[in-house]
Amino acid sequence: MEEIDLSENLTDPADIAARNEMAHRISLIKQKQADLTPYEEPDEDDQGNRFCLECADKIPEERLLALPMAVRCVPCAERLEAMQRNFRRRGGFHA
């Protein structure tokens, strides 16, 4: 991928618009990447077994292969996602 010089002094309005659009897209990509960074530390034992942060059951190997950064088992992750969806649908704290 070609590196883009966002500090380049451009005079053509189309070039300026394209540069601004690219800068915006780059910032969106960086934000999405930051969102994917785990913010919760996994609960692991000395053997490398990972345990769900909600129910403390061992997270199955298949789940960790599919989602290496998983910190919850499938049922707990689904329950959390459903709660988050309902919260957003109602409009948050002040709804």
- Residue 30: inside a domain: yes
- Residue 4: inside a domain: no
* Calpha distance 17→9 (Å, rounded): 12
Contact (CB, 8 A) for 25 and 33:
no
Looking at residue 32, what is its pLDDT? 79
User: What is the value of pTM for the model shown?
Assistant: 0.52
**Number of domains, the chain:** 2
Mean pLDDT by 10 residues, the chain (95 residues): 64 87 90 71 90 95 92 94 82 56
Structural domain for 73, as ranges: 44-90
